Amino acid sequence: MDLIFKSEEGDRLRDLAENKDEEEEIQEELSNMNKWISTLPILDDYDVAMSLSKEFNMNITQAKQSLEVFPREYLIGDKPIPDIVKQLKKYRRKLKGEEKIEFTKSIDNLVMEYGNHLSSCIKSIYWLAPYETPLRQMRYKESDLRKLHSVKDEHTRRDIVESLCKYWEANLHRGKEYNKDYCSLTKQMTKSKKSFSKTLKGLSNTSIKKSISSQLEDMVLKSICDNQGIGSRQIHEMLPLKLHRRSSPQIIAKVADRLNITNIDGEYYKLPMEIKKDLYAYTAAFIDSDGYITMDRNFNPRVGIIATGTRGKAFVSELHKELKVGKLHLDQKSPQDTRPVNRLNFYSQADIGTLLEKCRPYFRMKGENADILTELIGIKKHFKKESWAKERMTELFKLMKYANHSDNTRFDFASEGIYMDDIAKYRANSKLNLIQEYESGVTV
């Protein structure tokens, strides 16, 4: 039995050794291939593929495939790294001391790794890799590198390399002494940068090859954003001939489901990118116009958005997906027995606090309501046991009543114990500064 076990173990080790040798051979072959390609002059993609196939005894298809390798986009939770870094730096403002220093180190590590990723992207562009030094001095994004990778013709490649070489040469000869030559070479560098940017801007995003599946997803998403409430059959009829032949209304329905697009009785709805980019500005506008900010008699904060009909249902459903907080109440009976009412309500104290903080700069009508609720949440969170807390929360309740009904001439404020002479006093008694000082770490 021991002999059998040792024999199997020996076979396994030999297989591992052989696999390792094969892997090393492949790596060495790829390295030799990349070195050989870097010695070629600037040619178009087809000529390079032909030369590569002759030199390394492979067919033209294999040669083209080896040239088209480009690293996958660096994403964290479907977000690009620059957006993540921006969010982290914004959050860092709230930190202090050692915690802030450690957080900064984490951001620096992420930036460094992203720099390594961009370097890998540049190296994958075989005709541009030798010019990485001047390319690093240009302004570009990862998507721009992908556009450069898609350049196949010799003329465009030569224009790009010429701009980089002129910049590189001027930078090498400029020196550090400020004189006439320094100024002239600096102008040359600026001119070369502009030339590079102009060429890069002229490269169409459509030059980046996409699979039929990706093209179909893009067209479905665009059709729905441009025509809210459209059906799968209508989308299919609007597709270009190439995509129309390769799809059907049933396939489009599956694509829409995969893209997490809201489907209301066969009609599709999706928030446009313009709204997503300024999500909290639009949310504040909808709360201002079709929502409410209030509290109940037990001092519980409440925020909500109300919409009617099919489009209203689609809107609150999409907004709920994007905000990732709140609770949906769909197809509720209207008091007037008209169209169904759909609500997106926020009950969690933490969620409401975060939502109001992000929406506050954009409120036009309910700014005072937001400040009242922010103060209420701060008191309940940090000063609930203070002797003045309950009295102040009662004042906030009266202020909220007044803010919500001040334009109603028939509302009986006296029945709620609210008198006009007290409103200014309640406002002057604000504890917002005290709460902000406490949350910022200032000793009070």
Query: By the 8 A CB rule, do 308 and 342 touch?
Result: yes
Low-confidence winner among 71-75, 203-207, 221-225, 285-289 (lowest mean pLDDT): 203-207
The strand ranges marked E within 202-299 are 262-264, 267-269, 291-295
pLDDT confidence of residue 344: 92
Structure confidence at residue 304 (pLDDT) = 93
CB hemisphere CA count around 27 (13 angstroms): 6
What whole-number distance in Å separates Cα of residue 328 and Cα of residue 316? 8
Whether pTM > 0.95 for this model: the answer is no
Which has the higher per-residue pLDDT, 351 or 62?
Answer: 351
The answer to whether the beta carbons of residues 74 and 142 sit under 8 Å apart is yes
- Six token digits for residue 419: 């008198």
Confidence of residue 55 (pLDDT cuts 50, 70, 90): confident
DSSP string for 161-190: HHHHHHHHHHHHHH-SS-SHHHHHHHHHHH
Express each pLDDT in 350-405 by its tens digit.
999 999 999 999 999 999 999 999 999 999 988 988 999 999 999 999 999 998 88
Q: Record the tokens describing residue 335, joined without a space.
A: 């008091």
Give the integer Cα–Cα distance in Å for 283 and 318.
12
Average pLDDT over residues 237-242: 86
Which CA distances in Å does 242 have to 217, 226, 281? 14, 21, 39
Kindly report, residue by residue over 169-178, the tens digit of the pLDDT: 988 888 888 8
- Location of structure tokens 């996409």: 210
pLDDT of 176 reads 81
Residues 145 and 200: their CA atoms lie apart, in Å, by 9
Residue 442 pLDDT: 53
Q: What is the rounded average pLDDT for all residues in the chain?
A: 84
Specify the pLDDT at position 444.
Answer: 43
One DSSP character per residue, 283-296 reads HHHHHHHHEEEEE-
* Integer angstrom CA distances of residue 150 from 30, 61, 136, 141, 143: 21, 17, 19, 15, 11
- For the chain, give the percent of residues with pLDDT over 70: 89
> Any idea where the domains of the chain sit in the sequence?
1-38, 212-270, 276-440
- Percent of the chain scored above 90 by pLDDT? 21
- What's the CA gap between 243 and 230, in Å, rounded? 18
**For 20-24, 178-182, 185-189, 335-339, which range has the lowest pLDDT when averaged over its residues?**
20-24
Contact 175, 234 (CB under 8 A): no
Can you give the pLDDT at residue 226?
Answer: 83
Say if CB 120 and CB 73 are below 8 A apart.
no
Pick the range with the lowest mean pLDDT from 13-27, 146-160, 219-233, 369-383: 13-27
Higher local confidence (pLDDT), 25 or 174: 174
The tokens for 181 are 């030559």
Angstrom distance (rounded) from CA 184 to CA 37: 35
pLDDT of 4 over the 50 cut:
no
Distance CA 402, CA 419 (A): 9
Report the CATH architecture of 276-440: Roll (3.10)
Q: Which residue shows structure tokens 């309910």?
A: 366
pLDDT of residue 412: 86
Q: Are 196 and 162 in contact (CB under 8 A)?
A: no
Residue 180 is encoded by which pair of tokens?
């006439």
Of 209 and 76, the one with more pLDDT:
76
* pLDDT value at 164 more than 70: yes
Token pair 């009829």: residue: 237
Mean pLDDT of 301-313: 88
Residue of 158, 118, 153, 116 whose CA lies nearest to 138: 118
Task: Tell whether the model's pLDDT for residue 234 goes beyond 70.
Answer: yes
**Predicted local confidence at residue 443, as pLDDT:** 46
How much is the pLDDT for 62?
79
Orientation angle between helical segments 349-359 and 279-290, nearest 10 degrees: 100
Averaged pLDDT for residues 60-85? 81
